[in-house]
Amino acid sequence: MTIEDLRNKGLIILECISGSRAYGLDTPTSDTDIKGVFILPKEDFYGLTYIPQINNESNDVVFYEFGRFMELLSVNNPNILELLNTPTSEVIYRHPFLSDIKSERILSKLCSNTFGRFALSQIKKAKGLNKKIVNPVAKERKSILSFCFVNHEQGAIPLEKILTLKGWKQEYCGLVNIQHMKDIYGLYYSENQKFNGIIRNSDSEDVCLSSIPKSSKQEVLLFFNRDGYSTYCKEYREYWDWVEKRNEERYAATQSHGKNYDAKNMMHVFRLLEMAIEIGKENQINVKRPNREFLLDIKAGKFEYEDLLKMAQEKQQEMELAFEESSLPNTPDLVEINRLTYLIRDKFYQNLLI
């Protein structure tokens, strides 16, 4: 089933402009996102082909099946609460049956967790991007050799340096375990003994051991920083996966303001925290934001990263206090939500021949 099928069959019961335009945070370059709700035909709902969500290829048009929509409302999902409370000016179509759904029977102190957790996830994303930008990982992948060190004089030096100093090649080195000394090996060198080398190739995931004749002389002790190599491999993989998948337009915007954080994510941190504070204090959801300029200044990178983190922490504390003092119930009225889910679907099926 496609979005076009939903329209042709009259299954859509809610369609709204969402995202930045609904928040009042749109700019000339903003996309137009659409979210909405549909009701499956009877044969699909009661049969084996239940479809919880339908979207287009770019995911900028998303419709939730009514049952999924109500399920997400029952756990105070931020995106779905925003959809239910979309400003009238951004509502394309709203079925009269939906007027039975009242936010005051759905909002609860769960919003402290759902909105707060969502906001903290955006902070985590912003921190992750900050770390990647400030600490880029070179494209040429380091080998195990870069994480090996040998004893020299009164200390230790990188293996690669001793190889250069002595004119050795790693292929002619042989390693043996040293008992009771984790990740420390005896290193031998010979161009005639056919040792296995320290690593077999640049992609090796561990050092290579050799069979060493008893008459051979141990040259030095080698330490393989295994933990350091493991951490590097993880960071290398995560960094280049991010480079491959990153949104180049947003990354270019981040580079342009020079603050080394995802400003759009940080803008949503404050939007979510402020909405949560309003829910706790006013028992209602205000989708359209009254402080457009402040939020767009964050998006434009006009604040220092550390200052934003401090302000976000203060907002989080304000949110927690608002919910401590709030008159909202601890959880949504699940009996009422369940009743409405049944009644609205039943009325829809009775009023539409499918």
Q: Is the domain of 270 the same as that of 175?
A: no
In this predicted structure, the answer to whether residue 19 has a pLDDT above a threshold of 60 is yes
Concatenate the DSSP letters of all residues of 285-352 into one string: ---S-S-HHHHHHHHTT-S-HHHHHHHHHHHHHHHHHHHHS--S-SS--HHHHHHHHHHHHHHHHHHS
Domain region containing 94: 1-106+332-354
Residues 163, 125, single domain; the answer is no
Same domain, 32 and 128: no
The pLDDT tens digits for 42-88 are 999 988 889 999 999 888 999 999 999 999 999 999 999 999 999 99
Is 62 found in the same domain as 2? yes
On whether residue 182 sits in a domain, the answer given is yes
pLDDT at 354 over 50: no
Q: Indicate if 209 and 151 belong to the same structural domain.
A: yes
Provide mean pLDDT across the span 179-187: 94
Could you tell me if 84 and 58 lie in one domain?
A: yes
CA–centroid distance for 167 within its chain: 48
Q: Report which of 302, 304, 264 is spatially closest to residue 27, judged by C-alpha positions.
A: 264
For residues 3 and 99, membership in a common domain is answered with: yes
Number of domains in the chain: 3
- Residue 336 tokens, joined: 């009422």
Calculate what percentage of the chain has a pLDDT beyond 90: 72
351 in a domain, yes or no?
yes
- Per DSSP, 46 falls in state H
Cα separation of 175 and 197, whole Å? 8
Residues 226 and 261 in one domain: no
pLDDT tens sequence across 281-310: 999 999 999 999 999 999 988 998 889 989
